[in-house]
Amino acid sequence: MTKWTVGDIPDQQGRTFIVTGANSGLGEVAARALGAAGATVVLACRDTAKGEAVAREIGANAQVRELDLADLSSVREFAAGVDGADVLVNNAGVMAVPLRRTADGFEMQIGTNHLGHFALTGLVLDRIRDRVVTMSSGFHVLGSIDLDDLNWQQRRYRRWAAYGQSKLANLLFTYELQRRLSRAGSTVRAVASHPGYASTNLQAHTESVQDKMMAVGNRVFAQSAQMGALPMLYAATSADVDGGSYYGPDGPFEQRGYPKVVHSNKKSMDHAVAQGLWDLSEELTGVRYA
């Protein structure tokens, strides 16, 4: 793969993208790039005021709709208003936050990063024409899926292990979704990406001394959000993307660089765990995939 940049995004005129968390960070960068390529972009975000500011700069081909992935009633309301889209980009997320619960009682990281997107995808999948792109992370290697205590109700809460579990869940979901789409004879593709180490506001919400440490890391080591968004944009727009593939940066340790096919760990390939997580996710969210 050559050094792919936003300049290589094909013309997206006539195509519609839903991008979660598009009011800031990688989602905002992606929304701007897609809008510049001619796409209609739906900025699905909790902070609609920030989303409206971004949409005004993108232009008439951008619209904002409220979506709180930590509240299944909000997810259902959003999904009910979706007429159709070519691509759903499951980008929004939280990282290493203190122990909190979503409106439905889920641990905040698995609830937002995985269960919210699982429910959203299931509710709109019959209106997605091309692909579903889900954001994971290199931190998936820190995670293990505990099907008996997915929401940290019995274990001592560890914020980074919880984040790793949610990002591992994103990959298990993507691969299992692709297997199900293939069995159903669907042409819709499920794809995953990760940004490497990108400087965004994601690192500023641990509410601990780690915020200051990561702020230094963002300035010294991280690549820009514009570079970090490239694997997601490639996964969302390239004609060469295969279902079930995973994209990240091509630099050392996948921390920075241009998009390439990357590989996830052995845990993400466990079909039995993927099936168990899928069944549990349906049970917890009440969303059954057709």
Write down the residue that tokens 């702020």 correspond to: 215
- Look at residues 228, 285, 283 and name the one whose alpha carbon lies nearest to residue 69: 285
Coil, strand, or helix at residue 184? coil
**What contacts 263, CB < 8 A, 6 or more positions away?**
246
d(CA 241, CA 245): 7
Annotation says 163 is catalytic: yes
Q: Please name every residue paired with 198 in a beta bridge, in sequence order, or none if there are none.
A: 223
| Cα 74 from Cα 61, distance rounded (Å) | 24
The C-alpha atoms of residue 33 and residue 266 are separated, in whole angstroms, by 33
Q: Which of 163, 175, 197, 234 is catalytic?
A: 163
First to last CA, the chain: 36
In 3D space, the residue among 9, 88, 84, 13 whose CA is nearest the CA of residue 44 turns out to be 88
How many whole angstroms separate alpha carbon 234 and alpha carbon 232?
5
What b-and-e string marks burial along 181-214, b requiring 16 or more CB atoms within 10 Å of the CB? beeeeeebbbbbbbbbbbbbebbeebeeebeeeb
Q: What are phi and psi of 169, to 5 degrees?
A: -60, -35
List active site positions. 163
